[in-house]
Every structure is written in C-alpha cells, then in structure tokens.
Structure 1
Amino acid sequence: TWSWLKMSFTGALEVLIEMKNQNVKFTKDTYVLAFAICYKLNSPESFKICTTLREEALLKGEILSRRACCFAVALALNQNEVAKAVSIFSQIMNPESIACTNLNVIIHIQSNTLENLIETLTNAAEGNLSKFVKRCMFSEEVLAKVREKVKDVPALLAKFDEIYGKLHVSGQVTNYSLDAVLCYTPRDRKSHTLLLNKRMVSRRTFRPLNQSLLAE
C-alpha cells in the first residue's frame, strides 16, 4: 500500500514541479500541497525540493501560509535537519495553532533543550486557565516522545508526569497524531486532491522532467 501511495505522491510532485518549470504561478494553496507531498515522501530528495521551492518563493517576496511552513518544519525534523526546522519555525507568524504547538515540542526534543521544553509545557498547563483563553493542545503521541526523552532524568521525569496529569485534567491532550494534525483539512475548503487530479489528467503528455528541480 505504501509503495502505491509513494508512487502517487511522486507523480503528483512531478506535476507540480513541471508547473513550476513552465512558470505557472503557485498560489498559497499550491505551496501547501507541494510541501505536504514533500513531507509525505520524507526523503533527502523531497527535502531538497521543498527547501528550493521555499527559498525561491521567499526571494520573490511571496508569503507562505502557516500551514505550508508547518509541513516544511515537520519534513526538516523528520530528516534530522533541526537547525533548518528552527529557522523555518522562527519565521512563522502567529505560531499558535495545534500543529505549531506540537512541532515546537518536537524541536525542543531534537535540540535536547529539555529544561526549556518542560518550562514550555508548564506554562501551557499552569498559565491562564480562563475558559475564554484558547489553550494549547498537545498530541498524546508527542507527549509520549517527551516522556521517552526525559525518562533518564528523574527530576525532569517527575515534573513531566505532574504536568502531564494537569494537561489531561484541563482537556489539553488529543489522541490525534502529529501527522493527523498536520494533514487535517477543514471541510469547507476545496479538495486539493481534486485540483491535483485535474492537473494530472490535463498534463499526461509532459516531457521527462530532465530539467526539473528533481535534477538539481
């Protein structure tokens, strides 16, 4: 099943790259789709493509959406490019979404900034608990990674377990994985898949991508 999906993602990415090579202007949603595909492929090659597309967009003065940047951050983390992930994350305006919250935790984990990580979780659990203030939501999967990281440091483990309990009591833990959070699309938005399928049908006669970003 995964090999079939990988082929589908690869084909979709080739279509997007050919659009780029033919100077078809990317919209904000197109960048989201491109970065999401790169994230799903999760390879050094797809990371390079994502990085190139992002840098080209920034040079042109285009504004990338928070969602597109989240996919770029997640891909960088999956490729152990922590410094790149930190750089991209630092440029996200209003990083207050559930995806940003959990990506920030993963950044702390992979950067080994454990005390800052515990402080971040503490502030989320013990901060303003007014029902009128939007609370940070954490993925159970991500919190499990935190526990695994601090399990050999008794003081941090004890503090984490205390915070973990508070987060559960205040309803700030979701069973959705980070991948599910990243890929969630509100129902009222148009299907990117439908748009992509239309592009693929109309461009079946494309020449080989020998001058595409894949060759860089």
Structure 2
Amino acid sequence: MANTLSGVFRNYLLSTSISRINKLGVLSDYAPGLRKLYAKATLGIPAFQEQRERIQHQMKNISDKFREKMSEYTSDDSKNMIFTEDLKNMIYISQDDKDIELVIKMMKRYNTQNKSLRFGNFIFGPVIMRLFYIHNKPELALECFKSDELSVSFDQLMSYQILLDLLYENKKYKEILEVANIIKAKQIEGSITPKNVVVLVLAACYKLKSKESFDYAIKLWSDLQNTGHQPMRRAVTFCAALALNQDRPDIALEVLSTCKNQNYTTIRNLKILALCSIGRIEEVIPILKSVLNEDTPSVISQVHTFNRDVIERIRESVKSSDNPEVALEFNRLEEVFKKQGNITENTLDDQLCSEIQQPPIRSNRDFVPRQQFQNRQQPNDSFQTRRPSYRRPGLADLV
C-alpha cells in the first residue's frame, strides 16, 4: 500500500495541470462555535487551573510583595537568582499582561543562570504554554516559541500540541505550518512521531483549503508514509477531505485506505464522496447497505450514520447516473435510514472538526534534553525520529 500511495503522490507532485475547483461543495467552512480541536482536558488545562487556584490562595497575602521582588530580581543590574519555585509561583499567580511579561523576563533569567544549581526536573514549557492558552495569547506564545532565548524551554511534545491548538483556535493556520517547519528542522532526538502535531498540522491545511496547503499536506503525508508512520484517524480524515476539496478523489481514496478500521463514520462518508466524484455510484450502494448489518437499533449510540449533506450528494450522483436499479435501491435504503436514524443533520465538516476527547498524554517522551538536538546527522525532513532513552515521568508536566 505504501508503494501505491507513493506512486499516487509522486504523480500528483509532478503534475502541473490539476484542477483547483472544488466540485463537491459539501465541505463548507467550519462553524465559528466549533473552533476547538482538542478538548481542554487533553491539554492539561483543568489541572493547571486547579493548581493556579491553590497557589493563589496560598500566596493571597504576599502575592503583591512577591511580584515586586521578582521585578527587582529581573532588572538589568540585579545579581539575584530566579529559582525554580519562584518561576512556578509567578506562573500560577499571573493575572494580567504585566504579570505575563514578568514571567517571560524571569524565564529568560532562569535559562541564563548557572545550570549546575538546578537539581529538579520541573519542565516549564507545557506550563507556560497553558498560561498563554488560558489568557488567549497566541501571538505571544508563538513569539516565545521562536525566541532564541526561550525556544529550548518549549522542546516538549505537549508544548507543541498546546501551542498549535491555541493557534488553531485563533484561526492562525499559516502560523501552524510555520511552527511545523520549525519542529521538523529541530528533528527531535529521543522522540517518536508526534501524532497529535500531525493532526493539528493537517487540520490547518484543511482549513486553509488552498493549493499551497494541499501541496504541503501531500508532501508531509508522503514523507510519513515512507517512514512507516501510522496516522491517527483524524489525520487521515483531514488529509482525505482536503484532497476532495482540491478535486483529487483519487488521492482521497488512497489516503482513506491507510485507516485500519474502515467502519468509522467519517471514513465511510468521505469514501462515498470520493466514489461519487469519480462516477462509481454503484460501489456506494454496498457501503450504504453494510451499516444495516452492523447497527443495533435498540442502542442508539451504536447506530452508524451518514451526514445529511453526503446523502444529498449521493442523490445527485444517482440522478446523473441514469441507472434505474441504483436509483431504486438508493431510495429504498434512504427510507430505511430515515426510520432507523442513520442520517444525521450534522454536516460532514462539523463531524470532521469536532472536538477530540482523550486523556492527557503522560509520557517520558514529553521531555527532550537540549543536547540531543545537537550534531543531528539525519537529513530526513519528516517528523520521524528515534526511540528515546528512559526518563521517569512525573506529574510536573501536567501541573
């Protein structure tokens, strides 16, 4: 299958006469009220907020004096050191832009101090990114990530995910691709392919819906396939949907074939759209009929559904096919689906971009020591990297 994918993508990349018109007209712009991709719990936001409340309560009577002291410690002529607990406390009591500015100054001072005095393993990257997240500071988060003084502080997969999700929520899709390029350039030693990063990058490409973003997505996808990457289902659906929007159902079908479970609702709906687009409506009917054997009508949550806009697209294709047998069977199936609740009013776009719910990542792969970035010899520009050495994971990454 990898060879087939590579062949299709190679033919695409060499082609100069691809149509840029989206003829499907079903993958509309994402509803403003459904912007989030990853739920807050997957980013560790609730735990961070709980810790903020505890620290703010503990420092209620001394927080103002503490701020004044930290401001003095970060002045140019000060020789005082910023300790780990100082920085942690300042992050948790930060309330406004002035406090966040002080946190950044403290972080810079903290990074330049004598590293021999640091004996703890507290990782600040994800924590500071969560601070930017709850204050909705995408520009500042990106600026700090790109800063030479601070960039090493955010070399954790969770930091990447929080930053990219924050950019996604603020519709800064081009900036997501910029961050992705920086991550690839770093070639993280000691880490596996960051699957959540891939999902967010492909989500940004899908949102951009441009020829350029499609080229970017296909190049990334081809690289990942060549390195044996097993994509998450959401990555598959974003890439396939983008291919459909760029009038490349052939690529969409090949991308969808990489998903191990073909029974997912989004996979099934996208495959139907691709088949309709290439005029193979007779192959859609078996896909429609397959859910009748899988559903358990007594348990509503187990009913397999088709999106209303996908059903409408099938109806158009059936009509244009001028095949009485196919039309008769489709009409029969549609009536059954209406009775059994197999048709949802949600659009396919709504479903593709629905919020991802999953437990926060607790892994030793979150942390990557700085020295591991140096002397990188492998030229491959994909996200694929080598297996990490073991580091005992702690709760610090989540609080």
TM-score bracket relative to the smaller structure = 0.7 to 0.9
Task: Provide the aligned length of Structure 1 versus Structure 2.
Answer: 189
**Structure 1: 5+ residue runs without aligned partners?**
191-211
Q: Does the aligned pair in 2 maintain the 1:101–1:137 contact within 8 Å?
A: no
Aligned residue number for residue 261 of structure 2? 94
Q: Does the aligned pair in 1 maintain the 2:250–2:274 contact within 8 Å?
A: no
Quote the offset at 1:159 in angstroms: 2.4
Which runs of 4 or more aligned residues in structure 1 lie more than 6 Å from their structure 2 counterparts after TM superposition? none
Aligned residue number for residue 171 of structure 1? 341
Quote the offset at 1:160 in angstroms: 1.7
- Which one of 184, 192, 195 corresponds to residue 20 of structure 1? 184
Q: Greater shift after overlay, 131-140 or 163-172?
A: 131-140
Look up the SS of the partner of 1:68 in the other structure: helix
- Distance in 2 of aligned mates of 1:33 and 1:120: 29
Amino acid at match of 1:113: R
- Distance in 1 of aligned mates of 2:181 and 2:239: 16
- Which one of 231, 240, 252 corresponds to residue 64 of structure 1? 231
Amino acid at match of 1:185: E
Look up the SS of the partner of 2:213 in the other structure: helix
- Distance in 1 of aligned mates of 2:183 and 2:358: 26
Quote the offset at 1:85 in angstroms: 1.3
- Which one of 322, 327, 336 corresponds to residue 157 of structure 1? 327
Aligned residue number for residue 140 of structure 1? 308
Amino acid at match of 1:158: L
Quote the offset at 1:189 in angstroms: 5.6
Q: Please give the root-mean-square deviation of Cα atoms over the aligned residues, in Å.
A: 2.7
- Distance in 1 of aligned mates of 2:290 and 2:229: 34
Q: Deviations over 1:130-153 (max 9, x none)?
A: 447844210001101111111242
Q: Deviations over 1:9-50 (max 9, x none)?
A: 112221222221222465110000011111111111111111
Q: Does the aligned pair in 1 maintain the 2:209–2:246 contact within 8 Å?
A: yes
Amino acid at match of 1:150: V
Question: Which protein has the bigger helix share?
Answer: 1
Amino acid at match of 2:239: A
- Distance in 1 of aligned mates of 2:356 and 2:249: 29
- Distance in 2 of aligned mates of 1:66 and 1:18: 24
- Distance in 1 of aligned mates of 2:211 and 2:359: 30
Look up the SS of the partner of 2:304 in the other structure: coil
Aligned residue number for residue 175 of structure 2? 11
Aligned residue number for residue 121 of structure 2? none
Larger Rg: 2
Q: Does the aligned pair in 2 maintain the 1:69–1:92 contact within 8 Å?
A: yes
Quote the offset at 1:57 in angstroms: 1.7
Q: Does the aligned pair in 2 maintain the 1:101–1:136 contact within 8 Å?
A: no
Aligned residue number for residue 47 of structure 1? 214
Aligned residue number for residue 283 of structure 2? 116
Quote the offset at 1:123 in angstroms: 3.1
- Distance in 2 of aligned mates of 1:93 and 1:188: 19
**Structure 2: 5+ residue runs without aligned partners?**
1-28, 31-167, 361-380, 383-399
Distance 1:132 1:53, change over 3 A: farther
- Distance in 2 of aligned mates of 1:187 and 1:85: 25
TM-score normalized with structure 2 length = 0.43
Distance 1:188 1:92, change over 3 A: closer
Q: Greater shift after overlay, 94-103 or 16-25?
A: 16-25
1:37 aligns with 2:204: yes
The one of the two structures with greater contact order (alpha-carbon pairs below 8 A, sep at least 6) is: 2
Q: Deviations over 1:96-125 (max 9, x none)?
A: 211111111111111211111123213324
TM-score normalized with structure 1 length = 0.77
Q: Does the aligned pair in 2 maintain the 1:74–1:103 contact within 8 Å?
A: yes
- Distance in 2 of aligned mates of 1:94 and 1:123: 14
Q: Deviations over 1:34-90 (max 9, x none)?
A: 111111111111111111111222222222112111111111111111221111111
- Which one of 232, 246, 262 corresponds to residue 79 of structure 1? 246
Look up the SS of the partner of 1:29 in the other structure: helix
